[in-house]
Each structure stands twice: as C-alpha cells, then as structure tokens.
C-alpha cells in the first residue's frame, strides 16, 4: 500500500485487498482464520514444524524460509505459499498441504521469500504506521476494492482505512475473496481506475 511519503505526487489511488503491514493482520489470517475455516490445513501447517517451534509458528516459518539451507527453506516456503493460496480462494481446489513433493521438486515463486523478509522485519514500518498517517491521503481521490470473503485481507481492514480516508469509496464485492480474478474483482478494479481518472480530469 502507498505509504504516504509524497502525497503531492499522487493524483489518485485504487487499492485491492487492503493490507496494512501489521502483525495483527498476519496472526488473524494464519492463526485465527486458518484454524476456523480450514482446521485440517492448520494441523498440516503446524505439523511441518518441530513441536518446540509451534508456539510461535509465524516466526518459525519466516526464520525457516530465510534459512540458506534448501532442505530447511524449501519445505517451509512451499507450505507457506500453499497455505496462503488456500486462504486466497473462495473455492480452493484442495485444502490440505501436498506432502508428496520432494524438497527439490518444482520451482517455487519468490513470494514467500520476499514476504518472510518483510514480515520478519514488521514490513519496515512502525506499529499502525499506515493508519496513523492516513491523514496524508486527504484530497486524494480513491477507490478501495474489497472481496467479501477475503481471509487474508478481510473487509474489516479496508473499512478501517475507508473511515480515515473520506475521499475514497469502499466497494465490497460479494462472492469474492482475495484474488484479482475472483468474480467481480477485476471489473471493479478497472471501473475504479476509470472513475478515479475521471475525477482527476475534473
């Protein structure tokens, strides 16, 4: 999300799946939503870790993903990206971790490594920095597109931002989750871009 350092250089913003970079959001997604909606997957997620690391599983995952040893980081990165993928979908194709992949099989995306680096460092922000500096968005027109059933970036987060950004319109899409290509999300993003552009043009 835009961090507000140079608001004078921003004409408008269209956001999708609002994430504020807080530890609380990550704990909600992986430690609250995951066991509530996918309890078996949550068991798989924890089961990849030694019992001694399960009390703080997020930190354990990030530490393992950033470990230089591929026998350590590859299984953790694969489990992270698969779990995140399930939480991203309204109707995932499967809801358990695939334990059949050997460590070296299949290229992994860079996403879990980038995320682990940022999350382990609190996204390089102060606690609640984005909401605390939301006043810098004043006068910038925006649209916030939000999937109703997004388990990674739930509607409450987008709502919190919208209450502090009066120049933005929150558009919640029913029957959609986190993905850009969920029903209605892509069209809402395109429409939001057009609407913000029209406001800028006057």
- One digit per residue, the tens of pLDDT, for the chain of length 202 reads 455 678 889 999 999 999 999 999 999 999 999 999 999 999 999 999 999 999 999 999 999 999 999 999 999 999 999 999 999 999 999 999 987 654 545 678 999 999 999 999 999 999 999 999 999 999 999 999 999 999 999 999 999 999 999 999 999 999 999 999 999 999 999 999 999 999 999 8
Residue that finishes a domain, picked among 84, 101, 124: 124
What is the reported pTM? 0.91
- Number of H helices and E strands in the chain, helices first, is 9, 3
Residue that finishes a domain, picked among 91, 124, 157: 124
Please check whether residues 148 and 58 belong to one and the same domain: no
Q: How many domains does the chain have?
A: 2
Asked whether residue 2 is domain-assigned, the answer is no
The pairing of beta strand 168-173 with beta strand 142-147: parallel
Which structural domain, as residue segments, surrounds residue 134?
7-21+127-201
Sign of CA pseudo-dihedral 49, 51, 56, 60: negative
């Amino acid at each position: 999300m835009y961090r507000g350092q140079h608001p004078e250089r921003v004409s408008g913003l269209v956001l999708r799946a609002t994430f504020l970079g807080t530890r609380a959001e990550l704990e909600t997604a992986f430690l609250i939503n995951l066991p509530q909606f996918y309890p078996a997957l949550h068991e798989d997620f924890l089961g990849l870790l030694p019992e001694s690391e399960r009390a703080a599983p997020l930190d354990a995952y990030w530490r393992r993903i950033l470990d230089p040893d591929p026998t350590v980081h590859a299984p953790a990165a694969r489990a992270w990206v698969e779990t995140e993928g399930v939480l991203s979908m309204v109707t995932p194709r499967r809801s358990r971790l695939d334990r059949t992949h050997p460590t070296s099989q299949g290229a992994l995306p860079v996403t879990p490594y980038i995320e682990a680096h940022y999350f382990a460092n609190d996204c390089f922000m102060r606690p609640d920095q984005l909401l605390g500096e939301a006043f810098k968005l004043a006068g910038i027109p925006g649209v916030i597109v939000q999937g109703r059933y997004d388990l990674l970036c739930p509607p409450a987060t987008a709502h919190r931002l919208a209450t502090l950004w009066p120049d933005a319109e929150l558009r919640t899409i029913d029957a959609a989750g986190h993905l850009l290509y969920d029903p209605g999300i892509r069209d809402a993003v395109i429409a939001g871009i057009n609407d913000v552009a029209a406001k800028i043009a006057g």
